[in-house]
Each structure stands twice: as structure tokens, then as C-alpha cells.
Structure 1
Amino acid sequence: MSSRLISIGMPIYNGGKSVQRALDGLLGQTYPHFELIISDNASTDGVTQAISEEYAQRDSRIRLTRQPVNLGAVPNFLWVLNEAKGTYFMWAADDDFWSANYLEKLAARLDEVPEAILATPQVQVATTFRNGEKEQEIVPAAPEGGREAIIEAYIQNFKSCIWIYGLYRTDWVQKHAAEWHNYPPVGGDVVWLWGVILKERIVGNSQATFFYTANHNARKELTYRENVEMCGEMFYHMFRLSWRQLPARDRWRGLVNACRHYYRHHLFRKDLLITSIRITRIALLWCWIGLETGVRRTISRLLPSFARRGNHIAETGSSAVEAPGYRDSPPEQRHAT
């Protein structure tokens, strides 16, 4: 058994009694060399704070921090990562569960393959739909056979994005996780993991099982336009990552794979193209969204040049009219798109 320290980052918010089940699963691991970093994102239910404080007093491996204000979901995920001190790192949600050998098996897999940055488990997904129906599904661990086999597995089953809860090398993930900020809040994990798969070595161990809970009733239901915008933004980023991260000989294949993933799991699965009317609507909406984005970016690029011209005219004694409040606004607002 490996003796490396593993850091577990658990960002929590109003998890209620499910936090207790998650903590029991982590503290019951056969691998004892870990630290558990809990960040309570200013929970308001009372139960979450009480349970986490009780467990922190009981086990010295737990480091509990209660945030004074809500940081947001992604910043809270990154906060626990930045606090990690171990050689390996994993994220843990407050409503999931793990087989008792989870840490032991994934750590051993990373020890076996020094060039791998992520070891993925087998995932058992329990989904509760809005109509009350429930579904169980098994998502295999990352297959052997190289990057092409892993890309194919990722395309065939969109729930493979749950591999993101595998075990990482801490130094690598601390350098690259902030890239998540570049992607949409909804679906950003899918895009980020796509980039990881394209450029890094990933391994799997089917002896470790992750029990993932997907409750659609607890999620915000997106409107048609929000779905279209989210899918379009994900498509753009997956396309861009495929073009920039793959060698020239593999770029077109990467773009085709990005198209396949996008169509299979975000257009077809969400029924966005179920009728000719919807196809027309999505095409027109994309054109409109693209026009809006183009106009905003054009304006943001022109404003600095107008400001520089105004400065030159002022220096020569002439008068110029500047955009109201432009000079007083911070740079990040002036160049926002």
C-alpha cells in the first residue's frame, strides 16, 4: 500500500444529513494517510455546520473552514484544492459515496504509472428525474488502449465526465484547475476534462467504485435559450481545445470528435433538434447570439482606440468627447465582452 499523503477537498453548502453519509464513507477508507479539507460555503441550514463541526472534533485528519460569505460553487472547489498539502488530490461532493478501497486502489494506480496525472474509478450513477423516475447506470473506468480509446469512451457516454472526481497528482491539478474559470458555469467540467483527456495521460481502476448521485429536482431547470447558449459555448470551447492542444496531424480528427460529443450529448439528448421548427429556431438563435457577441467584442476593441484619440486631441489643445464614465471605470470593465 502507498504511504503518500492524499488530500481530499470537500466543498459543501446546505448538504444537510447527506454530509454525514459522505463523511462516513471517507473516514471508513482502508487507506489511512489522508487529510480531509472541508469548506462550508456559508451554509444556512444549520444541519450542515453542526455535522461538519462534530466530525472535525472527532477526527484530527479533518480541517474545517466556514467561509464568512458564499464564494460560489467553482471558487469553493478551487479553494479546497489550493489548501491541499498531499501528493495526490481528489474532490468529494457532500452527497456522494465511495467504496472502502477507493483511495487505496486509485493511489496504487498512480504509483504504477508515474506519467499519469489522473486515475479514474468505475462510477455507479443513481439518477432521480423530475417526474420521480429513477435510473441506475454503470460508467466504466478509463479504458486501456491509449488516448483514442479514452476519447471514444468519453464520447459514447457523456456521464464519463464524472471521472473528474478521480484522483489527481496535486502539483498538476493545482496548476491547471484555474482554467475552469474560462468555461461556462454549467458544463464547464465537461469542457475542462475534455482538455485534460486531449493532452494528458489518464488511467483507470475498475476495482474502485464511486457512487454518484444526480438529483434533477435539485437543479435549476434551464430555458430553451439557456440550453442553446450553454451548448453553443461548450461546443466553441471543445472545438478550440481540440484545435490548440492536438498536433497538426490529429487536429481534424479532434474537431470531428468534438462535434460527435456535442451532437450526441447536447443536441440530440436534449431534444433541441427534435423537429424542423426547432432546428430553424436553434439556427436563428445561434445567429442572433453570435451577432450580439460580435457587436460587444467590436465595441470593446474600439473603445480603447477612441480613448487614445481623445487623449491626443486633448494634448494638442482640441476638445474631444469621451464615453461617459469610461475613463473612471477599471480596465477589466472597459475590456469586458
Structure 2
Amino acid sequence: MNKRFELSFTERKTPLISVLIPCYNRPEGLDNALSDFTRQTYRNIEIVVSDNCSPQKKEIAAVMAKYADDPRIRYTRRAENVGMLRNSLGVLEDARGQYLTWGSDDDRWDKDYLLELFTLLKKNPDASCAFCDYDVINPEGEKYIGFPEAYPFLKQFDDPDRISRLKKFILAKEGYSNKSCPIRALIKTEIVRDYFGKMQDLGLLENWGDMLVVFAFLMEGRMVTSPRVLHKFTSGNDKDYFPTPPNPYFYLEGYLKLMNCRLPVEEVKVLREFVGMKLTQADCAFGGKELARTLQNISTLMKVPGFDIDIHDVESLSHYLEVKDYCAVLRIITRIYRKFTPDLVLRVLAMQQELKERESVLA
């Protein structure tokens, strides 16, 4: 029989950290997660597990039985599947720790994960959260080769200037794993509860916007990051979280809503410009090589009856393209596209199709 887990006197004096694991139908992955967290070198933790009515009920129960002697684990099984969001909010409500981190049933963690992040936060009291470098693995546990390095990307958010770090985050590509993965960061529980309450009021948790959560952390303070690879993030799993893929506008509009309810007006004014640039990119399916297509769209707009483009904007576009001031180009494009209406979009698409058909006939 295993010896029952006990904390030393010194360990009982350290802050309690809550590890939150909402899970569904991955008994092997849950076993891995529990194995990783119960072996942490930072031992004053609680592990809150909520099974979202998994069909593999017996297999999940067998996994939990393996850890029955560890009093730090609290396990519940829902009577019905309530969806990922409600299951995740449920474990948040049950958290008792001063700090928390989100776990999952498909990732892996080094034994020093919590100790390293807690130590970083203690050394940097002005930081809101702490994270680490990580590897991206496939569902079989093999590291992806050639995936963008996480640490250089994450390190830029260790910026004491709030506008600067939020600007960098806004301008980073949506859907980029390095942008959403810091939801696994260690952070004070009171900060998470505060922001989650506001995000619920604003309707921003409907699609479980990981990147909005990270944005909220960065609004509160800088993110300190360890260069040690202490986490393995799984990419490529079929999670089927949403009936439809999340809309990119959801994140961009979410940044605006969060800023408006938390930041001083002068800071919001500065940051709105960068959100406007990203909205323009979304409007135009903008990405890297798409500037030419964007300008083509504007050229088409100039021929659409009833749509008036200021000739000064067109002249300015030519000038700023020549001097390669792409921020100025985007500001002008943003101003032009603010005139968009659903009816205008349909007319532009119809005219583009007509031009394409003419070119096809001529060819």
C-alpha cells in the first residue's frame, strides 16, 4: 500500500497553487497529466479535476483510482456534458489556491514547472503571470520539427510598458499557438476570477477565447518567461470544442471591449489604431503578401457606383508605398474600409467576379 501523501511544515507555509484540469474522454492523457503534476517539486498544490461526462467512464474512474492516496486531488464527474466552457468555469469556481494554472488532458509538464514559475513571480512582483519555453508535440508525443520558437516570441511580453506589450500582442498573428499557449501561465487566482467575470459580462467567453485571456493577463502586468523548456503543448488533436471555427473578429473586437472596460482613455486611444490595422487585415484577408490584393480591392471599389473614395487617400497611398511606410498605408486602408456596409461588400464581390469573367473571356 502506498504511503499517504503529506506536506512538510515548511511546505505548508508556501502559498497553495491550484492546478485546474477540465477533461473529457482521454483517460491516458489524464493519467499523464496527473502523473506530471503529482510529481511536481513545488508540492503545496491542489489538483481540481472535472470530467465532462466522458463515455469512457470506467477508464477515467480507473485512472482516478490510481491517485486515490493523494489528498491534493479533488475529482468530480458531471452527470451530463455541459460543454468545455462551463466545465472549465466549474473548476475555476472550485479553486482554493492563491495562484492557479490551467492543466489539460493532452499536454505534458516537467517536474519543475510550478516551482520555476512560482519563483519567477516571487522575484518579479510587478509581473502578472509567469510562463516558460515549451515544445510543440503531435498527439503521439513526438516533437514537431520546424515549429516557430516559442521563447523569443514570449520574451517580448516581458515589457514593463503596457502599451508596448499590448501593441505587440495585438499585431501578432491570430490563431498562432505561441499567442494562445500562455493561458497555461501561473497567475494569481483573484486576477483570473476578476477578468473572467468581466469577460462573461461582455460575452467574450462564448468561444473560449484563449488569446483574450492572455491579453487580459498582459493588461494586468508583464509576463515573465523562463528559457527552460518545461512544458509540452499538443497540437493537432481533434478537440471539437466549437460548432463552428472561432471568428477572427471575435478576438479583435474582444481586445477593444477589454481595453474599454479596464484601461485609461488615453491608452485605449493609442491601442485602437493597432486593432484597427488588424481589423483591416481581417477585412482584406490580409497576410504578408496580400497588400497587392488589398490595393486591387480598393481599385475595384473606386469603380463601384455609390462608393466615394477621397482622392487624397489614393494619392497618399501611392506616396506611402514609395517610402515603404506600411503603417501609414494601413491607417489609410482602415479609413477607407470603415465605409464598408454589407450591401457594398456584395457589390464589390459582384464586380470582382464580373472583371474575372471578362479576363477569362479575353484570355
Q: Identify the residue that residue 269 of structure 2 maps to in structure 1.
A: 252
Q: Which of 167, 176, 182 lines up with 2:195 in the alignment? A: 176
Q: Is the 8 A contact 2:49 2:75 kept in 1?
A: yes
Equivalent residue runs for 1:1-337 within 5 Å: 3-46=14-57, 48-126=59-137, 136-140=147-151, 141-143=154-156, 144-146=158-160, 147-154=162-169, 155-156=171-172, 158=176, 159-181=178-200, 182-183=203-204, 185-186=206-207, 188-207=209-228, 209-215=230-236, 217-219=238-240, 230-261=247-278, 267-268=285-286, 287=342
Cα drift, residue 145 of structure 1: 2.9
CA pair 230-285 structure 1, distance change in 2 beyond 3 A: farther
Q: Which has the higher strand share?
A: 1
CA pair 221-54 structure 1, distance change in 2 beyond 3 A: closer
Corresponding letter in the other structure for 2:254: H
Task: Tell me, in whole angstroms, the C-alpha distance in 1 between the residues paired with 2:289 and 2:186.
Answer: 34
- Other structure's SS at 1:94 match: coil
Task: Tell me, in whole angstroms, the C-alpha distance in 1 between the residues paired with 2:209 and 2:148.
Answer: 22
Cα drift, residue 99 of structure 1: 1.9
Cα drift, residue 44 of structure 1: 0.8
Task: Tell me, in whole angstroms, the C-alpha distance in 2 between the residues paired with 1:126 and 1:10.
Answer: 19
Cα drift, residue 183 of structure 1: 1.1
Task: Tell me, in whole angstroms, the C-alpha distance in 2 between the residues paired with 1:60 and 1:105.
Answer: 23
Cα drift, residue 217 of structure 1: 4.3
Identity percentage over the alignment?
A: 22
Task: Tell me, in whole angstroms, the C-alpha distance in 2 between the residues paired with 1:32 and 1:47.
Answer: 29
Cα drift, residue 257 of structure 1: 2.6
CA pair 284-262 structure 1, distance change in 2 beyond 3 A: closer
- Other structure's SS at 2:50 match: strand
Task: Tell me, in whole angstroms, the C-alpha distance in 1 between the residues paired with 2:38 and 2:155.
Answer: 26
Task: Tell me, in whole angstroms, the C-alpha distance in 2 between the residues paired with 1:265 and 1:68.
Answer: 40
TM-score norm. by structure 1 comes to: 0.69
CA pair 265-41 structure 1, distance change in 2 beyond 3 A: farther
Q: Deviations over 1:242-289 (max 9, x none)?
A: 34433233223211232445566894469999967x979x9999727x
Unaligned runs of 5+ in 1: 291-337
Q: Is the 8 A contact 2:163 2:267 kept in 1?
A: no
Q: Is the 8 A contact 2:17 2:97 kept in 1?
A: yes
Cα drift, residue 36 of structure 1: 0.6
| Length, aligned pairs only | 282
Task: Tell me, in whole angstroms, the C-alpha distance in 1 between the residues paired with 2:28 and 2:230.
Answer: 22
- Other structure's SS at 1:17 match: helix
**Stretch of structure 1 that moved more, 181-190 or 15-24:** 181-190
Corresponding letter in the other structure for 1:97: R
Cα drift, residue 11 of structure 1: 0.3
Task: Tell me, in whole angstroms, the C-alpha distance in 2 between the residues paired with 1:124 and 1:163.
Answer: 13
Unaligned runs of 5+ in 2: 1-10, 301-336, 346-363
| RMSD of aligned residue pairs (Cα, Å) | 3.9
Task: Tell me, in whole angstroms, the C-alpha distance in 2 between the residues paired with 1:171 and 1:184.
Answer: 18
CA pair 48-180 structure 1, distance change in 2 beyond 3 A: farther
- Other structure's SS at 1:196 match: helix
Q: Is the 8 A contact 2:199 2:258 kept in 1?
A: no
- Other structure's SS at 1:118 match: strand
- Other structure's SS at 2:54 match: coil
Cα drift, residue 122 of structure 1: 2.0
